[in-house]
Structure 1
Amino acid sequence: MGYAVVLGEALIDLLDAECDGQPVFRQAIGGGPLNVAVGVARLGGSVQFVGSLGDDALADRIRAFLTDAGVGLAGAVTVPAPTALAVATHTGAEPDFRFYGEPPSYGLLTADALDVDLVGGADVLYCGSIVLLSPTVLAAARRAWSLAGGLRVFDPNVRPRLLDGPAALAALRQTVAEFAASAHLVKLSAADAELLYPSEPVEGVAAYLRELGAATVVVTLGAEGAVVAAANADPVRVPAPKVHAVDATGAGDSVMGALVAELLVDGEPTDPADWHRRVAFALRVAGLVCESPGGAVAMPTRPEVLTRFPG
């Protein structure tokens, strides 16, 4: 089995919590791509994280966490910046993230700093999330995408607070189209789809991204499961398992992590039914994540998934 490269951000989440009746923020290591990398490793896949990390104690904690999780750091670079913070508050179904740190520590990876051999030799390359809003990292991601010798997977992981008006949204929409055009897999959430393509049904968004060139598109729907558009088949809804959810942080990332882990084991499916099976497994992974607090720390192992959802 080969390895995956996950190119994206790692940061510190400050999560809305309560202690002794008082509002507090709970510190957690986060970032969508970091969650994906940890998810792959926990499911038995070999994975390398590629991105820029700060030069402070918080970045040291991120490095130690990733190392302990079995995620390689050969492609990570250190930059002279404090670690970016994402403050998450809950006022509705989706957490509201506000980001602090200028320049953001995760947005300083340059194309020249890429480990060409590491990226080019990966069986699966993941690019996506908020790092693509940084022109510097976007250039690095484009170079990585062009170097990829294996499967290319993409997740826009949109954060509305980082989009400064209609022009920024239009630019992001163009970036999504660019990467989707040559992606073997695009995964996005229903919230991403609504922001990028307002009023378009999720099946329509999936079909549109396939028309652009994406081989397979998965749109996650939270407790409702996911829509899968694969090969020449019509989009299909795959249900999620019933779970006792306590924290949905990282659930969407765990779906991507599970799909990447499956690609490492069995390669790209040729049959839509195989994609449906893999997405069903990924939704079970996400269900287990939702039953535990935290994002990256909640990523399960394969035996844990099979124990919780036998058969």
Structure 2
Amino acid sequence: MGYAVVFGEALVDLLDTERDGERVYRQAIGGGPLNVAVGVTRLGGAAQFVGSLGDDVLGGRIRGFLTDVGVGLAGALTAPASTTLAVVTYSGPEPDFRFYGEPPSYALFGPDDLDLALLEGADVLYCGSVVLLQQRTLAAARRAWSLAAGLRVLDPNVRPRLLDGPAALDGLREVVAEFAAGAHLVKLSTADAELLYPGEPVEGVAAYLRELGAATVVVTLGAAGAVLAAAGADPVRVPAPKVDAIDATGAGDSVMAALIADLLLDGEPADPAGWVERVAFALRVAGLVCESPGGATAMPTRADVTRRFGR
């Protein structure tokens, strides 16, 4: 079995909560790509996290956490910056992220920092999330995308607070189209789809991304499951299991992690029915994540999924 290179951000989430009648922030290691790398490893795959980490105590904690869970750091670098903080508040269906730290610790990785041998040996390359909004890291992602010998997967993982007006959104839309054109798999959420393509039904968004060149597209719908658009078939809806959700942090990342882990273990499915099975499993993984607090720390093993939902 090969490995996945996951390129993106690692940071510290400060989750708004209440304890003993007072507002407090619960610290959690996070970043969508970091969650993906951890999820792949927990599900039996091998992952290498590639990106820049702060040189402070929090950056050390991130490095230690990833090492402890078995995520490789051969392609990561330590940058002279304080670790970015993402303050997460909850008022609607989607958590609201506000980012603190200048310069962002995740934005200091450039094209020349890529470990080319690590990249060229990977069976899967993941790119996405907020690194697509920074010129230096976008340039690195573009170079990685062009050099990848294995399967390329994309997750826009849009953070509206980091989009500075309509021009920034238009720019991101163009970047997503550019990467989707060469993607074997694109995963995005309903919130991503609504922001990038307002007024379009999710099936239409999935079909459009396939027309751009993406081989397979998955749009997650929260408790309603996901829309799957695979080659040779019309978009279909895959239901999610019923769960007792307490925290959706990392659920979308766990879907991506499960799909990548299965690509590493078994390659691409031979037909659309195989993709339906893969997405159904990924939604079980996400359901289990929603039943536990935290993002990266909630990522389950395959044995955990089997215990909860059966085979």
**TM-score of Structure 1 vs Structure 2, range by shorter chain:** over 0.9
Match of 1:151 in 2: 151
The normalised TM-score by structure 1 is: 1.00
Deviation digits for residues 97-143 of structure 1 (CA, Å, limit 9, x no counterpart):
00001110001101001000001110000000001101000000011
Q: Does 1:126 align with 2:142?
A: no
Q: Does 1:61 align with 2:39?
A: no
Match of 1:283 in 2: 283
Q: Percent identity?
A: 79
Q: Does 1:254 align with 2:241?
A: no
Describe the SS at the equivalent of 2:263.
Answer: helix
Match of 2:242 in 1: 242
TM alignment of 1:96-245, pairs within 5 A: 96-245=96-245
The whole-number CA distance in structure 2 between the counterparts of 1:189 and 1:31 is: 16
The whole-number CA distance in structure 2 between the counterparts of 1:183 and 1:24 is: 41
Task: For 2:255, give the aligned amino acid.
Answer: V
Shift of 1:5: 0.4
Deviation digits for residues 244-297 of structure 1 (CA, Å, limit 9, x no counterpart):
000000000000000000000010112000000000000000000000000000
Match of 1:295 in 2: 295
The whole-number CA distance in structure 2 between the counterparts of 1:48 and 1:302 is: 20
The number of equivalent residue pairs is: 311
Describe the SS at the equivalent of 1:74.
Answer: coil
Describe the SS at the equivalent of 2:49.
Answer: strand
Q: Does 1:37 align with 2:75?
A: no
Shift of 1:19: 1.3
The whole-number CA distance in structure 2 between the counterparts of 1:70 and 1:257 is: 14
Deviation digits for residues 33-73 of structure 1 (CA, Å, limit 9, x no counterpart):
00000000000101100000010000000000001111000
Describe the SS at the equivalent of 1:62.
Answer: helix
Describe the SS at the equivalent of 1:75.
Answer: coil
The whole-number CA distance in structure 2 between the counterparts of 1:127 and 1:307 is: 31
Deviant stretches of 4+, over 4 Å: none
The whole-number CA distance in structure 2 between the counterparts of 1:270 and 1:192 is: 28
The whole-number CA distance in structure 2 between the counterparts of 1:232 and 1:302 is: 29
The whole-number CA distance in structure 2 between the counterparts of 1:95 and 1:82 is: 24
Shift of 1:232: 2.1
Describe the SS at the equivalent of 2:74.
Answer: strand
Task: For 2:71, give the aligned amino acid.
Answer: V
Describe the SS at the equivalent of 1:2.
Answer: coil
- Could you tell me which runs of 5 or more consecutive residues in structure 2 were left unpaired when the two chains were aligned: none
The whole-number CA distance in structure 1 between the counterparts of 2:309 and 2:231 is: 28
Task: For 2:173, give the aligned amino acid.
Answer: R
The whole-number CA distance in structure 1 between the counterparts of 2:256 and 2:59 is: 24
Task: For 1:173, give the aligned amino acid.
Answer: R
Describe the SS at the equivalent of 2:249.
Answer: coil
Task: For 1:144, give the aligned amino acid.
Answer: A
The whole-number CA distance in structure 2 between the counterparts of 1:259 and 1:9 is: 20
Q: Does 1:13 align with 2:13?
A: yes
Match of 1:80 in 2: 80
The whole-number CA distance in structure 2 between the counterparts of 1:120 and 1:133 is: 24
The whole-number CA distance in structure 2 between the counterparts of 1:190 and 1:256 is: 14
- Could you tell me which runs of 5 or more consecutive residues in structure 1 were left unpaired when the two chains were aligned: none
Match of 2:2 in 1: 2
Deviation digits for residues 187-225 of structure 1 (CA, Å, limit 9, x no counterpart):
000000000000100000000000000000000000000
The whole-number CA distance in structure 1 between the counterparts of 2:134 and 2:161 is: 14
The whole-number CA distance in structure 2 between the counterparts of 1:237 and 1:211 is: 19
Match of 1:90 in 2: 90
Match of 1:24 in 2: 24
Describe the SS at the equivalent of 1:303.
Answer: helix
Describe the SS at the equivalent of 2:75.
Answer: strand
